Structure 1
Amino acid sequence: MSRKRSRLTGVDALEEAFEAVDHSLLLERLGVEIKRDLLILALTHRSFANENGMLPNNERLEFLGDAVLGLSVANRLYELYTSSPESDISKMRASIVSRYGLADIARDIGLGEFILLGKGELLTDGRSKESILADTTEALLGAIFRQHGFEVARDVVLRLFHHKINHASAKGIHQDWKTTLQEELAHRKKPMAEYVSTSVGPDHDLVFTASVTLEGDEMGRGVGPNKKLAEQEAARQAFLKLKEKRAGTP
């Protein structure tokens, strides 16, 4: 009779979970090598660490990455927007390094599939949560800083956040994007935007997805912990696409 395999815990569980995924694509997207032990630590969320004997987690690296990110973005904004007052570039930075800004970058590099999460977070779609994606992105930047120093970490930040920095707005993440989008459509004499939203997950931890269509074409899609935030993100994407189209019009 076959014997049921006992569940691994501690370092053994950590090693097995890490080895189950090929990390070469993640490193390629980051554009830098990270030592194995440091990469494991950067990807270890506290939920996984706590479920496996209180292993070290990525929160200390996240602390470092937050500092590297903030300084790198602030300095680049200072260089780019030479006529903008401190109050404006401060709002630009806050928007870029916000939870939502970081989560955008995490999705761009497909980070979610690499994060080591506990069972509870896996059951509630933790790989898609803005907070987990944002924190892990900062932890990776902290790991890069620890291994390679500030200049290399700064270069990674500027490459990953290039588009956000070059399209920064002083209005920031708190702007009412639905209103902004509707005002732009009214100015162009276009019909109103149409929104559709869905939700998944348990009642206490729903994840909402919203899409916005303009004249039958989907122009934006947002994810958030509530319908309002999801629609705001969808509207933001749609507004930026409209602006890009207008800028490209001869």
Structure 2
Amino acid sequence: MNNSDSSELLKRLGLNIDTETFQQALVHRSYSFENPGTPHNERLEFLGDSVLSLAIAEDVYRRFPNEPEGELVRRHHVVVSSWALAKVARTLNLGSYLWLGKGEEKTGGADKDSILADTLEAIFGICYITLGRDRARDLVLELIAPMLDDQEILDAGRDWKTELQEIVQSQKLGDIRYEVSVSGPEHAPEYTATVHIGGTTYDQGVASSKKESERLAAQKTCKELRPN
């Protein structure tokens, strides 16, 4: 069940949509499964995904006229990712408006990145259907486009390990190897990843998970090998 009145969310979003119509964007399939006949938001999510992608692609193309295609793709990829969309959804307290099945609610569905991101896309979809392309595009740009100027978000969302692999291959530097060590107490371990490329040691990343330590190490090494 949802916990909050969606009219408040509509007001904050500045959308002139009646609450009954808007509600479908907030209904997760788990609620629909437990309440047969209640439409869920997956079709709206499908539409909203395309609305989002095109609006951001157009904005990136216009705002960064001197960047190559690869960099435009990376910017676009970060801000339309589930991680980034969920970050925006949390600023809207979107989880409190969701209609979830009892099982999904018990397992913390209201704060899952995938559900929050899908619901935000569904909102873009219902906006497109009811208010038209221009208003839907404006909503995307209001909520999502500011992340294109946030270097911290852009860095956090990039696939640095893949980018490092591309740089290393293009420069023919050799094989990449990540050496990871762990320290600290068992309940709060600290992982340190060191990047080795073709026998040369590069940068380190330190984080609370092995994956994040490797990502940070790859990020630093990318910036060392490709300073621009």
Q: Same fold (TM over 0.5)?
A: yes
Contact residue 27 and residue 33 of structure 1 kept, 8 A: yes
What letter corresponds to residue 38 of structure 2 in structure 1? L
Offset at 1:227?
A: 4.8
**Which 4+ runs in 1 deviate beyond 4 A?**
168-172, 194-199, 226-229
2:101 is the alignment partner of 1:118: yes
Offset at 1:26?
A: 1.2
Per the alignment, do residues 195 and 150 of structure 1 end up closer, same or farther by CA in structure 2, a change over 3 Å counting? farther
Aligned residue pairs, count:
177
Offset at 1:93?
A: 0.5
Name the structure 2 match of 1:158: 141
For residues 126 and 195 of structure 1, the distance between their equivalents in structure 2, rounded to whole angstroms, comes to 32
2:38 is the alignment partner of 1:52: no
2:86 is the alignment partner of 1:65: no
What letter corresponds to residue 4 of structure 2 in structure 1? V
What letter corresponds to residue 70 of structure 2 in structure 1? S
2:130 is the alignment partner of 1:135: no
TM normalised by structure 1 equals 0.62
Offset at 1:27?
A: 1.5
Written as runs of structure 1 = structure 2, the 5 A alignment for 1:53-202 is: 53-167=36-150, 169=154, 172-175=157-160
TM normalised by structure 2 equals 0.68
Contact residue 88 and residue 170 of structure 1 kept, 8 A: no
Q: Percent identity?
A: 39
Contact residue 49 and residue 55 of structure 1 kept, 8 A: yes
2:18 to 22, 27, 35: 35
Offset at 1:162?
A: 3.2
Per the alignment, do residues 88 and 52 of structure 1 end up closer, same or farther by CA in structure 2, a change over 3 Å counting? same
What letter corresponds to residue 175 of structure 1 in structure 2? W
Name the structure 1 match of 2:165: none
For residues 110 and 184 of structure 2, the distance between their equivalents in structure 1, rounded to whole angstroms, comes to 25
Contact residue 84 and residue 157 of structure 2 kept, 8 A: no
